[in-house]
Amino acid sequence: MPGSRPTGPTPDATMRIKAAVPDLARLPIVFNRRAFSLAEGVRAGLSTAVIIAASEWLDWPGLIEAALGALFTCLCDAGGPIRRRVPALLSFGVAGALVIAAGGLLRAIGPGAALPFAVLGIFCAVYLRVFGQSAQQVGALLCVVLILSLDRAFDVREAATLAGMFLAGSLWATLLTMVIWPMYPFRPAREAVAKVYEELASLVEGLGDLLADPAIPSTGPSTGPSMDDTAWDSHARGHRRAVREAIEAARTAVLETIRTRGAASNRAAQSLIRLETADQLFVALIALSDVLEESEPALRRQAEDGLRALRALLIQIGQTITDDKGKADERIALGIAGIVAAARNLAPTSPLRPPVEAIIDRLQIAHTMSVPANYMPGAALDGEKQTPWQRVRVPLLANLNWDSLAFRHALRAAVTTAPAVLFTLLWFSPYDHWLTITIVATMQPYFGNTFTRALERVGGTLVGGVLAAAIGLVITSKLGIAATMFPLAILAFAIRAVSLGLFLAAMTPMIVLLVELRQPGTSEWMIAVTRALLTFAGGLIAIAGCYFLWPSWEPQRLESELRTAILAHKAYAEALLGVFLHEADAAALDQARRAAGLATNNVEASVSRALLEPGSATHGRLEAAMVIDAALRRFAGRLSAMQLDPSLGGAFKPEFWRDWRGWIGASMQTLASGSSDLPARPAGPDDAALGRIARQIELMAGTVQRSVA
C-alpha cells in the first residue's frame, strides 16, 4: 500500500545508485604504490631469466618448460613464514609436474580422455580455495598449468622429460626464494611489535624497582609533592612515553606491511591482534601503576613477585614474536599460570584485582597469537593444532554442498571452461589456451569482482601486447629475446602487488616472447593480436558465466550481512549496559565492540560489491542498506562515548539501565527479523546518549523493510 513504506530514496542516495549498469567509478581498481618491491622483482627475474638464457646458450629447448615452472612457482609464493611457504611451493611443483605429464598423455589419447580430465581438474583446482589464501593461489596456477598441458600430445618418455623439467624449474625457484635469497616481508612488522612488548617489560621492571626501593615510602594519598611523587612521576614520564612511541612505530610498520602484502592473510591478522593486545595491556599496566602508587606497603609487597614474573613473561613473548618459531609455548603458558595462581590470593575487594585480571586476559590473548598453530584456521579453542588429515577433511566435506559459495564457484568454473577446452582440443592453435586461461583467471565468486578482473585483465593484455610487438620489432635474435626476459621479469614481479592491470601489462610481453622462443618465426604482432582477442572473448565468457550460472547476487547476501550487523550492535549495547549494571566484564565488552565493527565493515564491503552488479530492481534495497549502515555507525559511536564516561554508570538507578537494555535488545531483534514494529520507549528520565541511540534505531525501522524487500 502507498502508505505502508517509508518515503523514497533521498536525492543524495539516488545519485549514488541511479545507474542501471555497473558504476565504473566504483570499481575497486587501485594502484598501491607502496607495494612496489624491486628486490622481489630481481629475485623472480633471476629465477626465470637464468633458465631461459641457459636454454638459448645450450640450445636446449626443453629448458623452456623449466623456465615456465620457475615463473609459476614465483607467482605461487604468497609470502608468510617459510615453514608454511615451502610446503605450498613444493606441493605446487610436484602437482604441476604430474599435471604436465598427465595432460600430454591424455591429449595423445584424444578429446574423449583429455576433456573430462581438464574439467575435473579445473573443478578440483578452483575448489582448493576452501583451504585458504595460499591454497587458492596454488589452485589458480594449477589451472593454468593444466590448460597448457593440453597443448601437445606426448608419449611416456616425452611426458616424463617435460614433467621433470617443470619440477626442476620449480625446485630452482623454491631454492632461490627460500634459501639463496630469502625474503621476510613481515619481519619489520614483527620486530616492531616485539619492541612494544620489550618496552612493556621495561615499564614493569621500573615499576618493580619503585616498589623495592626503601627510599620511596608508601604514604597513601599525598597532599603535596614528595620524594614518592617525584619518583612515580619520573617513572611515568620515561616509561609511558617509550611504550607509546613504540606502539605508534609498530602501528606504522604493521600498516605499511599490510598495504604492501594485503590484509587478507593470517599474518596480517596476527600482527594487528598482537599490537592491539599490547596497547590494551599498556592501559591495564597504567591502571595497576596508579593503584600501587596509592597502596599500602603490604599490598605493594604482594605485587612485587607478580611484577617480576610479568616482566619475564613479556620478554619471552617479545622474543617469540621476533624469532617467529613458537617454541616457547609451554614456558609462556606456565608463566601465565603462575600469575593466575598469584591473582587468586588477592581479596575479592582488593584494588589490585581489576587491573590484574585485565592484564591476565591480555596475556592469554598474546599467548594464543604467539604459536602458529593457534592462529591458523581450524585450530581448536584451546589452540590445539588439527592433524593433517583433519585439516584436509573438515573444510573439504563442509563445503561439498550447494550452499557453499566455493563449491558453486568451482562448478561454475568447470562448466564454463568446458566448451573452451573442447574448442582448444578440436580446433587447436598455439594460442587457443589463452581463451581458457582468461576464463579461469577472470572468474571470481562474486559478479562485481569478476567484472573488475575482466577490465583489468583485458586492459593490461592490450597494453602488454602493444609493448611485446614493439620489442619484437627491435629485438630479433633468440638470445636477445632471452636477455629481454630479465628486465621484463623484474618489472612484472616488482609491480605484482601494485596493480593487476600493470602486472599483466608487464607479463604479457614475457608470455608473447616465450611463445616466440618455443615457436620461432611467428610474428609478434600476430601473437599479440591473437592474445588480445582471446583475452577479450574469455573476459566476456567469464562475466556471462557469473551472470547466468548459479549467481550469488550480492543484494541477497547483503540481507544476511545486515541482519548480522544489527544483532552484533545489539550485543554491543547489551554488553555496555551490562557493565554499568556490573553484570558483564570489560573483556566481553571489548569482544562485542570488535564484532560490531567487523560486521559493519562486512556490510560496507557487500554494498560496494552490490553497486557493481547490473540491474535496477534492487536499488531501493541498496539505498536502505546504506542508511542502516550509517545509522549503525552512529549507534556504535554513541556507545563508544558512553563507554569512555566513567561517571555515567552511577548516574542512574539499575532499573533505568535494565529498562533501556531490554528496549534496545528487543528493538534490534525486531529490526533483525525484518519488522519495523518497535516496542514503546522506556518511561521515565532520558539520557542524551540513549536518546540519540533510540533515534538511530527508529531511523533504521523506517528503512529496514525496504532492505529485505
Please state whether the predicted TM-score (pTM) of the whole model is above 0.85. Answer: no
Last residue of a domain, one of 548, 582, 600: 548
Measured between its terminal Cα atoms, the distance across the chain in Å is 14
> How many Å apart are CA 143 and CA 152, to the nearest integer?
16
24 lies in a domain?
Answer: no
Average pLDDT over residues 423-433: 78
Instruction: Check if the beta carbon of residue 221 is closer than 8 Å to that of residue 215.
Output: no
> How many Å apart are CA 420 and CA 103, to the nearest integer?
16
The rounded Cα 694 to chain-centroid distance in angstroms is: 34
Q: Within this chain, do residues 541 and 641 fall inside the same structural domain, yes or no?
A: no
Q: Within this chain, do residues 75 and 88 fall inside the same structural domain, yes or no?
A: yes
User: What does the mean pLDDT of the chain come to?
Assistant: 75
| Secondary element (H or E) of residue 236 | none
Work out the pLDDT band at 389, boundaries 50, 70, 90: confident
DSSP-assigned states of every residue in 468-514: HHHHHHH--SHHHHHHHHHHHHHHHHHTTTT-HHHHHHHHHHHHHHH
Q: Inter-axis angle of helices 63-76 and 500-518, to 10 degrees? A: 170
The better pLDDT of the pair 133, 416 is held by: 416
10 lies in a domain?
Answer: no
> How many Å apart are CA 571 and CA 569, to the nearest integer?
5
Q: Within this chain, do residues 35 and 175 fall inside the same structural domain, yes or no?
A: yes
Instruction: Check if the beta carbon of residue 447 is closer than 8 Å to that of residue 553.
Output: yes
15 lies in a domain?
Answer: no
Residue 386, helix vs strand vs coil = coil
List, in sequence order, the alpha helices (H) in 213-296: 227-235, 241-261, 266-293
pLDDT at 375: 43
Greatest Cα pair distance, the chain, in angstroms, is: 95
Residue 422 clears pLDDT 50, i.e. is over it: yes
112 lies in a domain?
Answer: yes
Distances (CA, A) of 311 to 202, 231, 315, 464, 546: 7, 20, 6, 57, 56
Distances (CA, A) of 504 to 221, 496, 515: 68, 8, 16
Distances (CA, A) of 294 to 234, 352, 600: 16, 11, 42
Last residue of a domain, one of 548, 570, 602: 548
Q: Which of 237, 133, 256 is nearest to 193 (CA)?
A: 256
Residue 4 burial (CB count, 10 A): 7
DSSP-assigned states of every residue in 149-187: HTSS---HHHHHHHHHHHHHHHHHHHHIIIIIS---TTH
Instruction: Check if the beta carbon of residue 267 is closer than 8 Å to that of residue 79.
Output: yes
Instruction: Check if the beta carbon of residue 439 is closer than 8 Å to that of residue 483.
Output: no
Residue 582 burial (CB count, 10 A): 9
| Secondary element (H or E) of residue 325 | none
The 10s digit of each residue's pLDDT in 40-80 is 667 767 777 777 777 767 777 777 788 888 888 877 776 65
The 10s digit of each residue's pLDDT in 211-269 is 776 555 544 444 333 345 567 767 666 777 788 888 888 877 776 666 555 544 556 66
> How many Å apart are CA 244 and CA 224, to the nearest integer?
28
389 lies in a domain?
Answer: no
Q: Within this chain, do residues 559 and 674 fall inside the same structural domain, yes or no?
A: yes
Q: Within this chain, do residues 492 and 586 fall inside the same structural domain, yes or no?
A: no
Q: What percent of the chain has pLDDT over 70?
A: 71
Last residue of a domain, one of 375, 406, 424: 375
Q: Within this chain, do residues 437 and 586 fall inside the same structural domain, yes or no?
A: no
Q: Within this chain, do residues 430 and 459 fall inside the same structural domain, yes or no?
A: yes
Q: Which residue has the cell 611489535?
A: 193
168 HSE (CA, 13 A, CB side): 13
209 lies in a domain?
Answer: yes
Q: Within this chain, do residues 317 and 194 fall inside the same structural domain, yes or no?
A: yes
> Is the CA virtual torsion 105, 111, 113, 119 positive or negative?
positive
Work out the pLDDT band at 114, boundaries 50, 70, 90: very high
The grid coordinates of residue 381 equal 579453542
Q: Within this chain, do residues 296 and 404 fall inside the same structural domain, yes or no?
A: no
310 lies in a domain?
Answer: yes
| Residue-number span of the structural domain to which 613 is assigned | 554-707
25 lies in a domain?
Answer: no
DSSP-derived secondary structure letter, 77: -
Q: Which of 556, 587, 593, 550 is nearest to 571 (CA)?
A: 593
In single-letter form, the type of residue at position 276 comes to E
Q: Within this chain, do residues 52 and 172 fall inside the same structural domain, yes or no?
A: yes
Q: Of the ranges 29-38, 217-226, 350-359, 452-461, which is most confident? A: 350-359
Residue 634 clears pLDDT 80, i.e. is over it: no
Distances (CA, A) of 446 to 126, 442, 542: 14, 11, 11
Angle, CA of 130, 135 and 138, to the nearest 5°: 135
The 10s digit of each residue's pLDDT in 318-350 is 888 877 665 556 778 788 888 888 878 877 778
Instruction: Check if the beta carbon of residue 655 is closer than 8 Å to that of residue 581.
Output: no
Work out the pLDDT band at 537, boundaries 50, 70, 90: confident
Instruction: Check if the beta carbon of residue 554 is closer than 8 Å to that of residue 618.
Output: no
Q: Within this chain, do residues 440 and 514 fall inside the same structural domain, yes or no?
A: yes
For the chain, how many structural domains are there in total?
3
Q: Within this chain, do residues 617 and 662 fall inside the same structural domain, yes or no?
A: yes
The 10s digit of each residue's pLDDT in 132-151 is 767 888 888 899 899 988 88
